[in-house]
Amino acid sequence: MRYLFEDYELDASRRELYRDASVVALTPQAFDLLNYLIRNRERVVGKDELITAIWKGRSVSDVALTTRLNAARSAIGDSGEKQRFIKTLPRKGYRFIGMVQEAHSAPTAAVIEIQKEAAKPALALPDKPSLAVLPFSNLSSDPEQEYFADGMVEDILTGLSRSKSLFVIARQSTFTYKGKAIDIRQVGRELGVRYVLEGSVRRSGDRVRITGQLIDATTGAHLWADRFDSQISDIFDLQDQVTNSVIGALFPQLERAEIERAKRVPIGNLQAYDYYLRALASFYEFTREQNIEALRRTRLAVEVDPGLAAGYALGAYCYLQRKIFGWTIDADQERSETRWLARRAIELDKEDPTVLVRAGQAIAAVLYEIDDGVSLVSRAYELNPNLAIARYTIGLEHIRRGDVEAALKQFHAGVRLSPVDPFLFLTQTGIACAHFLTDRYEEGASWAKSAVLHRPNYLNAQFILAACHALSGRVEEARIIGARLTEARPALRISALLPKLTRIYAPEHLERMVRACHVMGLPP
């Protein structure tokens, strides 16, 4: 069924909205809302009915409904003030009041042309996450904000392009869409990308709000959205803050989306990159069994593609995970494997920040070649300052050198960059440790508890929590945790810990840590 009103045509079967000969961009839920109101235009549709129809009865806020309603209105040249097509009836609901013609016949010639255009062969998608960053919309009345919005996109593109694990379309191509009504799926076909980032900038007085949303261009599904508010005291500082926040939030979302996509690929069709993504999915389960599965899949990935640096780096990372969670089986053999995998990854690609950070962290933590490992992570940080996990290692290096406040800055920057990062528990533990080393035991305990809640089987977080309790006078609680640690790791004793602690802590902090070990009741 097609519905015609003024210059618009809504094709329910194709799920597309046209104005004259152009496709009008519309999110799936906003399209569903508009379609539902048009189909039920003879009556008022209540809020609860709309939520049931569009969200299938899921609990959603009034803001979500208002946002989709505004998007539908905007797509057809309407607004809450004009209400030319969609009328709001206070405390009753909404009704589509435009004159509509229903058409069962073939599409118009203009629509046929659009469909022909859409039917052209799409560009092949690259074998890694591919992204286009569209020009951000300036929603302010101030035309000066246009430059700010364009600069924001420029910085985001620069930041994303630092990662060799992403395929990012150049600015010259994406800015051809500036000021145009577009269909995200068409953009994906024309540019050959799987993901599209779009956003807007709105200024009000001395405040500015930037919104961003990541969309799967193959389906039109929204994967992530966020907004950032700030004072315009220094426009360039604000631009940097928002850029870093957007990039830091995007990387985990893109990674999750790619993992989910790989899970849907039939086993018989798996290639090296899909094996790698499935290995990553197993790795992020943070269990002994899935760690073994992740290693198996990384081996399959590099068998298919011996030049896949990310596969070797992830293999080394799997051994690091075994080390920090206490799953090591044969320490000598695993150190040897880690060394080979990490070195091979670096030989293959010295410029990929993700490869460098994983190889570097494995070299530092599994091989205890800390200077070499930190050097690689620092290089990754230079290439991509938005890589949150790199901040963790740099923070630990500051602790090793005795500069706790500098460590805290790095840890907090990592949390800000990626607040839902799979490795958040590591950074939380780092912050807890920094507070412990500066006598702020209650703050340290609070961060350590967060890490334990996030990842209960990460025993180092429990160790730092016990240390904070031990020196804050909460001895009984410290001893309970200490007993739990020795039960989980029967070989755990102060004499065995001392060489490791000596590598990690400055002399002025080592004595404090050893004292806490005695108080929490660890065997000598």
pLDDT tens column, 85-94: 999 988 889 9
Rg, Å, the chain Cα set: 27
The last residue of one of the domains, among 224, 250, 276, is: 250
Residue 470 has pLDDT above 60, yes or no: yes
- Tell me which range, 78-87, 123-132, 372-381, is most confidently predicted by mean pLDDT: 372-381
Question: What is the CATH number for 221?
Answer: 3.40.50.10610
Give the residue-averaged pLDDT of 513-524: 94
Query: Same domain for 7 and 98?
Result: yes
Query: Same domain for 135 and 233?
Result: yes
pLDDT confidence of residue 164: 65
pLDDT confidence of residue 419: 67
Query: Same domain for 97 and 204?
Result: no
Give the residue-averaged pLDDT of 136-142: 77
Does residue 352 belong to any structural domain of this protein? Answer: no
Give the residue-averaged pLDDT of 277-289: 90
Around 342, how many Cα atoms within 13 Å sit in the side-chain half-sphere?
28
Contact at 8 Å (CB) between 54 and 36? yes
Tokens of 16: 């597309």
Residue 435 has pLDDT above 90, yes or no: yes
Query: Same domain for 142 and 176?
Result: yes
* Number of domains comprising the chain: 3
Give the total residue count for the chain.
524
Does residue 364 belong to any structural domain of this protein? Answer: no
Query: Same domain for 432 and 522?
Result: yes
- Tell me which range, 122-126, 158-162, 422-426, is most confidently predicted by mean pLDDT: 422-426
Does residue 498 belong to any structural domain of this protein? Answer: yes
Question: What is the CATH number for 470?
Answer: 1.25.40.10
Contact at 8 Å (CB) between 94 and 87? yes
Question: What is the CATH number for 23?
Answer: 1.10.10.10
Residue 235 has pLDDT above 70, yes or no: no
Higher pLDDT, 205 or 401: 401
Does residue 292 belong to any structural domain of this protein? Answer: no
- Tell me which range, 62-71, 79-88, 409-418, 463-472, is most confidently predicted by mean pLDDT: 463-472
Does residue 393 belong to any structural domain of this protein? Answer: no
Residue 114 has pLDDT above 60, yes or no: no
pLDDT confidence of residue 376: 96
Query: Same domain for 107 and 137?
Result: no
Instruction: Label the pairing between strands 22-24 and 86-89.
Output: unpaired
Residue 523 has pLDDT above 90, yes or no: yes
pLDDT confidence of residue 422: 83
Q: Categorize the per-residue pLDDT at 120 as very low, low, confident or very high, splitting at 50, 70 and 90.
A: very low
Does residue 105 belong to any structural domain of this protein? Answer: yes
Contacts of 172 (CB under 8 A, 6+ apart): none
Does residue 159 belong to any structural domain of this protein? Answer: yes
Q: What is the DSSP string of 20-65?
A: TTEEEP--HHHHHHHHHHHHTTTS-B-HHHHHHHHHTT----HHHH
* 92 three-class SS: coil
Quickly tell me which residue has 């070797």 as its tokens. Answer: 312
Residue 222 has pLDDT above 90, yes or no: no
Tokens of 236: 């360039």
Q: How many CB atoms lie within 10 A of CB 14?
A: 15
Each residue's pLDDT tens digit, 168-187: 887 767 877 877 777 888 88
pLDDT confidence of residue 112: 46
Instruction: Note down the domain range covering 506.
Output: 425-524
Higher pLDDT, 187 or 370: 370
The percentage of residues in the chain with a pLDDT greater than 90, rounded to a whole number, is 40
Higher pLDDT, 245 or 463: 463
Q: Helices H, strands E: what count in the chain?
A: 22, 13
Sign of the C-alpha dihedral computed for residues 184, 189, 190 and 194 taken in this order: positive
Query: Same domain for 238 and 144?
Result: yes
pLDDT confidence of residue 317: 97
Give the residue-averaged pLDDT of 183-195: 85
Instruction: Label the pairing between strands 8-11 and 2-5.
Output: antiparallel
Tokens of 79: 């607004």
Each residue's pLDDT tens digit, 2-21: 888 887 888 888 888 887 66
C-alpha torsion angle, residues 411, 415, 417, 420 (rounded to 10): 150
pLDDT confidence of residue 242: 65
* 59-63, 113-117, 287-291, 294-298: the lowest-pLDDT one: 113-117
The runs of H, that is alpha helices, within 84-212 are 109-119, 145-161, 171-174, 184-191
The last residue of one of the domains, among 250, 269, 294, is: 250
Query: Same domain for 72 and 37?
Result: yes
Query: Same domain for 87 and 164?
Result: no
| Backbone region of residue 83 per phi and psi (left: phi > 0; alpha: psi in -120 to 50; beta: other values) | left
Residue 445 has pLDDT above 90, yes or no: yes
Q: How many CB atoms lie within 10 A of CB 29?
A: 18
Give the residue-averaged pLDDT of 344-360: 92
Query: Same domain for 8 and 61?
Result: yes
Query: Same domain for 107 and 186?
Result: no
Average pLDDT, the chain: 84
